[in-house]
């Protein structure tokens, strides 16, 4: 994944049917802007099983960049590796793509200051 080489990564595990996930996406404009300004790449991994629902949610939320569908949903190797047992779930990686924080702060206004603090320490 040369595209992300040398970049801090903020990974969001979500699904179209997950109310809290969708709420966080709707209320993450400040965090998304901050991450963009800090040159942190946000990646979105969905555990949806319905491709059409996933595509519809992406369109509705207006977040189409770096969207990936885990076709094996919860059984995917990524979910197993990170031991994802519930969503939304966020993981922060440093520039060498080592896990900096397994349970990173949410990108909502309530978690924004904490997210900023963690990103600053990670960089």
3-class secondary structure, 4: helix
CB 8 within 8 A of CB 35: no
Above 70 in pLDDT, residue 66?
yes
pTM beyond 0.85: yes
Tokens of 36: 């963009």
Give the β-pairing of 41-46 and 99-101: unpaired
Q: Are 45 and 78 in contact (CB under 8 A)?
A: yes
Answer with the residue of higher pLDDT: 102 or 74. Answer: 102
Domains for the chain: give ranges and CATH numbers. Answer: 13-122 (3.40.30.10)
pLDDT at 1 over 70: no
pLDDT at 8 over 80: yes
For residue 73, pLDDT beyond 80? no
Q: What is the mean pLDDT of residues 27-49?
A: 95
Give residue 67's pLDDT.
95
**Residue-averaged pLDDT of the chain:** 93
Residue 22: pLDDT above 70? Answer: yes
| Cβ-contact 60, 93 below 8 angstroms | no
pLDDT of residue 85: 87
pLDDT at 97 over 80: yes
């Amino acid at each position: 994944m040369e595209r992300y080489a040398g970049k801090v990564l903020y990974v969001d595990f979500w699904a179209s049917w997950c109310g809290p996930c969708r709420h966080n996406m709707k209320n993450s404009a400040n965090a998304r802007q901050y991450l963009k300004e800090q040159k942190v790449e946000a990646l979105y991994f969905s555990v949806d099983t319905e491709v059409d629902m996933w595509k519809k949610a992406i369109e509705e939320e207006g977040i189409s960049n770096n969207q990936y569908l885990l076709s094996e949903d919860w059984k995917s190797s990524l979910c197993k590796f990170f031991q994802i047992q519930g969503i939304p779930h966020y993981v922060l990686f440093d520039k060498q793509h080592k896990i900096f924080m397994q349970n990173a702060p949410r990108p909502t206004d309530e978690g924004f200051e904490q997210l900023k603090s963690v990103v600053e320490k990670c960089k």
